[in-house]
Amino acid sequence: DIVMTQSPLSLPVTLGQPASISCRSSQSLVHSDGNTYLNWFQQRPGQSPRRLIYKVSNRDSGVPDRFSGSGSGTDFTLKISRVEAEDVGVYYCMQGTHLLTFGGGTKVEIK
Amino acid sequence: EVQLVESGGGLVQPGGSLRLSCAASGFTVSSNYMSWVRQAPGKGLEWVSLIYSGGSTYYADSVKGRFAISRDNSKNTLYLQMNSLRPEDTAVYYCTFSGYWGQGTLVTVSS
């Protein structure tokens, strides 16, 4: 089974400052079809998860361009260029290359 | 517009059974792969089961042999039959498809 490891667990950030979340997989997420199925989700308090990024770096419709995803193979990053108050919540990476596995989550809060 | 509406959650005693439903609209359930994901109170996201368009089904080790995923094409609905429920199955259960999530349904296993 693929294990997804996120860091940090908690990320206090100042409004307007950048933030970065790391996600590492225990094996390569490159699928036999050539795609890398690594997604990022945001879960605001009391809400269902919302997908932000799919296949490493593709933003979903309606997602602000301050969110970006990058990486390859086993190392991936979600970046928020300038954190806003509405970005508070827990962020999860998820691999879909071999079944599904979620990372443990990173809680983003405002300092 | 894609919509996923889960139902069927509730309070059940250990060893009991429940069947969750996920009514889908805006797309065809049988043409896509769909998943169930759960979230225990205060915890992260855990993948439970998925069904591919071809009908193949997969389960997390924690539920294998106890849960069964299925779909009714005529009703465009996804199901999760949960048997031999344990207290550790207590969670909000979400159905998800291609980045879309329902609002979830709460399952509580307790005597």
Average pLDDT, chain A: 97
All residues of chain A having their beta carbon less than 8 Å from the beta carbon of residue B45 are 41, 43, 49, 92, 94, 102, 105
Confidence of residue B98 (pLDDT cuts 50, 70, 90): confident
pLDDT for the residue numbered B79: 98
Task: Mark yes or no for CB contact A48/B44 under 8 Å.
Answer: no
The 10s digit of each residue's pLDDT in A37-64 is: 999 999 999 999 999 999 999 999 999 9
B44, pLDDT greater than 90: yes
Under the banding of pLDDT at 50, 70 and 90, the label for residue B65 is: very high
CB contact under 8 A, A99 and B103: no
Q: Check CB contact under 8 Å for B45 and A49.
A: yes
- Work out the number of other CB atoms within 10 angstroms of the CB of residue B1: 6
pLDDT(B16) > 90 = yes
- Which residues of B fall within a CB distance of 8 Å from A23? none
Q: In Å, what is the CA distance from B32 to each residue of A43, A78, B21, B51, B69? A: 24, 27, 17, 8, 14
Query: What is the phi/psi pair of residue B91, to 5°?
Result: -175, 165
% of residues, chain B, pLDDT over 70: 100
